A and B are shown apart, each in its own frame.
Chain A
């Protein structure tokens, strides 16, 4: 197993997409199926975007196994008051500034769930959020 860790600063809008694209390049180098590679990168893109937009700081760890990839994300920040509600498409608490950047449509968490095989989200208001995602890789015969 190999692990890659990233530290993320809240409010660092310019770095949105850096972690997901770095992991995508690693997956490409390891010949991971392009469909898997895309769905994993999309989920990580949404996770890192959420940390940058809504938290003060956070970390993302990506664990590579032969048959699966696990993403662990932890952040400190405002947290999510109602995770079930936040999972609904269209529900958003985004500011106008966030919308001007092209985010905040209320699709992030539902898109994370759609692209991962196992999704676990736990959050405490004014403390932070923890997310665990597991992606089972398609076997290439």
Chain B
């Protein structure tokens, strides 16, 4: 088994505690997700945290800015709940398609809407590895 030296351990601790921030366009590229709504300005906004849920009640309890919502719930209520929570970007997982009214509302409110073919677990795993932090 490979032994981890003290300095390697210290580096790991520092890296784990670094607040990594990604632009939304980097997230889309990392996942190979389809951008349904988003322009140069909104895609350049930064995301620090990820929150994955299919329960809007759970979303309404978080207290963090710069959060990406990862969900399989493709409803107009998802957009409205995200607006209330100041969540600027939503990733629809499991191949769910955004409804026309979702696209319209997201566009009106300068939100980013993305679609991803993979599972919620896969999206979370890739983004966690890329440095996106959990909300708690």
CA of A45 to CA of B75, assembled, Å = 15
Q: Tell me the chain A residues, 1-35 only, with Cβ under 8 Å from chain B.
A: 13-14, 16-18, 20-21, 24, 34
Which residues in B have their C-beta under 8 angstroms from that of A45?
60, 80-81, 84
26 A-B pairs with C-beta separation under 8 A: A14-B77, A16-B77, A16-B80, A17-B79, A17-B83, A17-B84, A18-B80, A20-B80, A21-B80, A21-B83, A21-B84, A34-B86, A38-B85, A42-B60, A42-B84, A45-B81, A45-B84, A101-B77, A102-B55, A102-B73, A102-B77, A103-B55, A104-B57, A105-B57, A107-B58, A111-B60
Q: Which of A13, A17, A105, A114 contacts B81 (CB 8 A)?
A: A17
Chain B min CB distance to A133 (Å): 15
CB of A80 within 8 Å of the partner chain: no
- For B83, list chain A residues within 8 Å (CB): 17, 21, 24
- Chain A residue at smallest Cβ distance from B84: A41
* Minimal beta-carbon separation of B1 from chain A (angstroms): 43
- Bitwise interface map of B from 65 to 108 toward A, beta carbon under 8 Å scored 1, else 0: 00000000101111111011110000000000000010000000
Kindly list chain A residues whose C-beta atoms are within 8 Å of the C-beta of B11.
none
Interface SS of chain B: helix
Interface of A is mostly: helix
Q: Which 7 A-B residue pairs are closest in the complex by CB-CB distance?
A: A17-B80, A105-B57, A102-B56, A107-B57, A41-B84, A16-B77, A102-B73
- Which residue of A has the minimal Cβ distance to B73? A102
- Give residues in A with beta carbon < 8 Å to B: 13-14, 16-18, 20-21, 24, 34, 38, 41-42, 45-46, 101-108, 111, 114
CB distance from A101 to the nearest CB of B (A): 6
Interface flag for B54 (CB, 8 Å) = yes
The one of A24, A41, A42, A102 in contact with B54, judged by C-beta atoms closer than 8 angstroms, is A102
